[in-house]
Structure 1
Amino acid sequence: MFFRHRRPARALVAALTGLTLALAGCSGSDSESRNAQGFPETITLAAIPAENSSDLKASYQPVIALLERETGSKVEFVQASDYAGVVEGLIAGNVDLAFFGPFAYVVAGLAGADITPLGAVVKNAGGKPGYQSYGLTRANNPDIRTLADFRGKKVCFVDPSSTSGFLYPSAGLIEAKVIASGAERDLSAGLTPIFAGGHDSSALAIAAGDCDAGFAFDTMVDKTMIEKGDLEPGELATIWKSETIAGSLFAASNALGAETVDELRALFTEQLNMDRLQAAGICTGEACRFTDERAWGVVPATDADYDGVRKVCEVTGSDKCKG
């Protein structure tokens, strides 16, 4: 899921961003206006792209359609440029629902966002939520075969607030003794960091030789970019894999009220999957996959599922983990 973004997470409690300003007054979370089904007249859903995307809304269309059908609310979708704006929107009461990568979810809570997990996405029916960070280099690069070989090299990260594009890679590089704890302060002591902004951009920069090595999440490299023709099979070599990271998730502002949050949790975990979406006539086939992670569905998730991310924050000593 995540965080693959343009602004460091430490800025989450900084001045209001353009997203918050643009959303002012459009959320139903702090309004007494409710429709006949007991939901806000308008529900605002915010997300940011995992890859460079000019139309993220299209990948959320099944989610939007299901929400509008089952709640009777009008869903306003906002494509934000970074999670700082999403979190500020939640805190200000202008965002009701958000799709988070695991790191951004943890930091959002530290920054003061009062949110509850609705469920985590899975790639396939019966699957478990979660994914891995990959350490990558070009397949024909004989000089890099382990993370230790990243020392002194130009290394592509996604963004300082990315779970699989920065946080877990930082922990791996610390264990490999390439960098020291407090990674955002010490990266340049062990390598030359380049922040690509998206997982696809990181992988492409590695393939093009702009970075000697770098990081991206598993299915972006193994599936999405190959299916799009952006990478050839075998073009990149995976020389490191992280432990399984808790899955990207939908979360709701608690300002919606406990009853509404419970109803939305049931809706997401029971009906937001490809089988139910097709049965409802909302979409067909692969068009029913949603978010830019192309998820099959949503399964239950709890705040405790993200304790692994909190542990990696302890290992790295990253200021990005402090809200």
Structure 2
Amino acid sequence: MGSKIRPSLGAAALAAVAVLGLTGCGSSAVGADSTTSGDPQTLVFASIPSENSQSLQQQYKLVAEVIEKSTGHPVQFQNATDYAAVIEGQRAGKVHIAGYGPFSYVTAKDSGVQMVPVAAPIKQAGAEPGYLSYGITKAGSNIKSLADFRGKTICFVDPSSTSGYLYPSAGLKEAGVDPEKDITPVFAGGHDASVLAVKSGQCDAGFAYDTIVDKTLIEKNQIKPGEISVLWKSETIAASPVAISGKLSPELQAKLTAAFRDMLNKPALVRAGLCADEQGCQLPESAYGYAVVQDSLYDGVRKVCRITKAKVCQS
């Protein structure tokens, strides 16, 4: 068993369900907060902050403004403790918009949660929605490849993290290292926390997604350029999707989809007067905007699960 900076997946999910009041199921759980159409008056947006120190309100400020303007529904954010809490919140009908990782999306979708993927962040206009997982060490380490991870303390992000656990597990297995037997895993709880644990020496090596290493932590002066070495890169991973509840009315689903497709990109935000210029537009994942996605985009994640037969894929 690996050490965990956060509580176990099941316990955290139950705790978040209690905090969010996720005691009902379906549209009836929304109760007095519903409009006459059956849609909720307030849209609950739940996710995990990509950085431990940053709230969802900060990350999604512009997203919330556009959703509220497009739909007429106020947005309430919920910082979930882990992806399991987001899944169960959407299953119970208490989470109307969810920010997932690719693997947690597949877990939710394939377990029967009624939801529709609508968008995923992109780095530039016309780009494909995708990113990479990095295997990292502190500069100067004698660890030079994933094969060298054997016998070491390794930082992952979360058992349900695509780039912080699933794809790294596949990479380790390909390198002949069993991620459940040959290393001491530590679940840091966030991509930034994983990188910083490697920097501090808490972990000998670790995993995180590309932007957090290449850009975010450097811009925040939490790591210096060249301080972290990248020794492994995954294949391209489908970007983290935003999914809306399938229990919302078709009209509201269409408005939400259009907001992400047409309004949540830097040029449109500038035209709408929500940003003074494109440089001042701060979207989640340092994105240029969003691209509309379909469920089939995440078949690569399902393939990795079939290949690795990882326990987390069977949970």
The alpha-carbon distance between structure 1 residues 29 and 103, as it changes in their structure 2 partners (threshold 3 A), is farther
1:203 alignment partner in structure 2: 195
1:112, 1:174 → 2: CA distance? 29
Residue 255 of structure 1 pairs with residue 247 of structure 2: yes
1:194, 1:300 → 2: CA distance? 34
Q: Size of the alignment, in residue pairs?
A: 308
Q: Which moved more, 1:75-84 or 1:280-289?
A: 280-289
Equivalent AA in structure 2 for residue 79 of structure 1:
N
1:281 alignment partner in structure 2: 273
Structure 1 stretches lacking a partner, 5+ long: none
1:102–1:249: 8 Å Cα contact kept in structure 2? yes
2:290, 2:202 → 1: CA distance? 37
CA displacement at 1:80 relative to structure 2? 1.4
Equivalent AA in structure 2 for residue 217 of structure 1:
Y
CA displacement at 1:27 relative to structure 2? 4.7
Equivalent AA in structure 2 for residue 276 of structure 1:
A
1:221, 1:29 → 2: CA distance? 44
2:233 alignment partner in structure 1: 241
TM-score normalised by structure 2 residue count: 0.89
Q: Which moved more, 1:90-99 or 1:11-20?
A: 11-20
1:125, 1:16 → 2: CA distance? 36
1:30–1:256: 8 Å Cα contact kept in structure 2? no
The alpha-carbon distance between structure 1 residues 116 and 17, as it changes in their structure 2 partners (threshold 3 A), is same
1:124 alignment partner in structure 2: 124
1:26–1:44: 8 Å Cα contact kept in structure 2? no
**RMSD in angstroms over aligned alpha carbons?**
2.6
TM-score normalised by structure 1 residue count: 0.87
Equivalent AA in structure 1 for residue 34 of structure 2:
S
Describe how 1:18-33 pairs up with structure 2 within 5 A. 18-21=18-21, 27=30, 31-33=34-36
State which of 293, 296, 305 in structure 2 corresponds to 1:313: 305
Equivalent AA in structure 1 for residue 301 of structure 2:
V
1:26, 1:14 → 2: CA distance? 17
Describe how 1:23-172 pairs up with structure 2 within 5 A. 27=30, 31-34=34-37, 40-141=40-141, 143-172=142-171
Secondary structure at the aligned position of 2:119 is classed as strand
Equivalent AA in structure 2 for residue 167 of structure 1:
L
Equivalent AA in structure 2 for residue 265 of structure 1:
T
- Larger RCO, structures 1/2 (Cα 8 Å, 6+ apart): 1
Secondary structure at the aligned position of 1:98 is classed as strand
CA displacement at 1:146 relative to structure 2? 0.9
2:310, 2:5 → 1: CA distance? 17
CA displacement at 1:28 relative to structure 2? 8.1
State which of 300, 315, 322 in structure 1 corresponds to 2:314: 322
CA displacement at 1:162 relative to structure 2? 0.7
1:281, 1:242 → 2: CA distance? 38
Q: State, as a whole percentage, how many aligned pairs show the same letter.
A: 48
Describe how 1:2-17 pairs up with structure 2 within 5 A. 6=6, 17=17
Equivalent AA in structure 1 for residue 191 of structure 2:
H
Residue 221 of structure 1 pairs with residue 213 of structure 2: yes
